[in-house]
């Protein structure tokens, strides 16, 4: 490795290319495609991608090559949608290894590329890749081991950078100057970032388990709200780290905790100086006990203020009903 090379930035996909139609979202699109639709190809595909994200469960018929695409379908529906690079990254996000994602680390999404090389160097510094330039594989492993010993558990190994650090101007450049949530436009070509799991249902059992059920104690509204927030965000475990223009200008990264369909549960700005310790804190404590989480703001759909967010209202009602049933069974 040359002295000027930052590990993990190569675009060579190697053995990571996937047959057309092999990804769940592709099967979903192909099997639901209406050749007689009045919609344009782009509009029908966008609608199906959005529907895929919002499904509670992606059935086994979409997880196998049930429908082998024709050459025409590949050209008009799939190939015109996204590149092999995005597909290779998507395959990693939606693979079975997702069940063990907590051992992998964070996902980083860079959405601003205004200052090119200078901002790229900042990103490498924040993620700790700058120290790995020119090191042998053995030296990289030693350096990462030393960091872990200091509580700096950035487990995003350089060999996984190509799919865990989404850093490509052609793919992920988003105009987020006026709206922090514009980054969600990336979902249109990368729905696996929004909903990597095939089961996106709210984990009601976990929500109930977080509550202390006792006939001598009446649960407060805060108790229920906290249970909803924890259960909604638990499947994705770590927050998505978004490096936008504001992050480059202020060194305040944007952290987003999401539900299994990619909706924002909580979000906040945090100083890059604390980034190396975020993973350590989450692994050492319950993810919902760290300061990053407790100080974060509520996503629109999960707001606890005023009328409350749409999903918060819906899930609170369901949770209270299930708790009442459980208490009744136990009395």
Residue 110: its pLDDT value, please?
A: 95
Asked whether residue 137 is assigned to any structural domain, the reply reads: no
Residue 285: its pLDDT value, please?
A: 58
Task: Determine the average pLDDT of the residues in 110-115.
Answer: 91
- Among 77, 79, 78, 64, smallest CA distance to 35 is for 77
Please say which residue of 91, 113, 146 terminates a domain: 91
Please say which residue of 75, 91, 107 terminates a domain: 91
Residue 26: its pLDDT value, please?
A: 98
Read off the pLDDT of residues 289-327 as tens digits, 9 standing for 90 and up. Answer: 777 888 999 999 999 999 999 999 999 999 999 999 988
Asked whether residue 267 is assigned to any structural domain, the reply reads: no
Number of domains in the chain: 2
Asked whether residue 186 is assigned to any structural domain, the reply reads: no
pTM of the model: 0.88
Asked whether residue 246 is assigned to any structural domain, the reply reads: no
Pick the more confident residue, 272 or 194: 194
**Domain encompassing residue 67:** 16-91
Is the confidence at residue 159, as pLDDT, over 50?
yes
Mean pLDDT of the chain: 86
To the nearest whole percent, how much of the chain has pLDDT over 90?
A: 59
Read off the pLDDT of residues 221-264 as tens digits, 9 standing for 90 and up. Answer: 999 999 999 999 988 778 999 999 999 999 999 999 999 999 99
Asked whether residue 218 is assigned to any structural domain, the reply reads: yes
Task: Determine the average pLDDT of the residues in 188-198.
Answer: 95
């Amino acid at each position: 490795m040359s002295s000027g090379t930052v590990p993990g930035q190569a675009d060579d996909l190697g053995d990571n290319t996937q047959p057309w139609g092999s990804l769940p979202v592709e099967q979903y699109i192909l099997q639901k495609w209406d050749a007689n639709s009045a919609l344009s190809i782009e509009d029908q595909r966008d609608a199906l991608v959005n529907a895929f994200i919002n499904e509670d469960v992606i059935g086994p018929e979409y997880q196998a090559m049930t429908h082998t695409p024709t050459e025409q379908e590949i050209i008009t529906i799939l190939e015109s949608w996204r590149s092999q690079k995005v597909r290779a990254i998507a395959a990693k996000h939606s693979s079975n290894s997702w069940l063990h994602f907590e051992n992998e680390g964070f996902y980083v999404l860079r959405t601003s590329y205004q200052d090119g090389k200078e901002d790229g160097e900042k990103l490498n510094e924040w993620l700790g890749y700058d120290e790995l330039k020119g090191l042998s594989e053995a030296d990289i492993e030693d350096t990462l081991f030393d960091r872990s010993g200091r509580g700096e558990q950035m487990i995003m190994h350089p060999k996984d950078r190509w799919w865990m650090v989404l850093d490509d101007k052609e793919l992920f450049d988003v105009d987020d100057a006026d709206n922090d949530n514009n980054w969600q436009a990336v979902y249109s070509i990368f729905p696996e970032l929004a909903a990597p799991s095939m089961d996106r249902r709210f984990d009601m059992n976990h929500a109930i388990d977080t509550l202390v059920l006792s006939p001598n104690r009446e649960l407060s509204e805060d108790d229920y709200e906290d249970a909803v927030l924890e259960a909604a965000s638990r499947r994705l475990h770590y927050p998505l780290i978004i490096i936008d223009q504001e992050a480059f200008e202020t060194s305040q990264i944007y952290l987003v905790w999401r539900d299994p369909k990619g909706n924002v549960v909580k979000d906040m700005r945090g100083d890059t100086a604390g980034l190396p310790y975020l993973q350590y804190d989450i692994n050492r404590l319950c993810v919902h006990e760290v300061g990053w989480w407790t100080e974060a703001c509520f996503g629109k759909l999960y707001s606890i203020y005023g009328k409350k967010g749409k999903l918060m209202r819906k899930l609170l009602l369901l949770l209270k009903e299930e708790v009442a049933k459980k208490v009744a069974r136990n009395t």
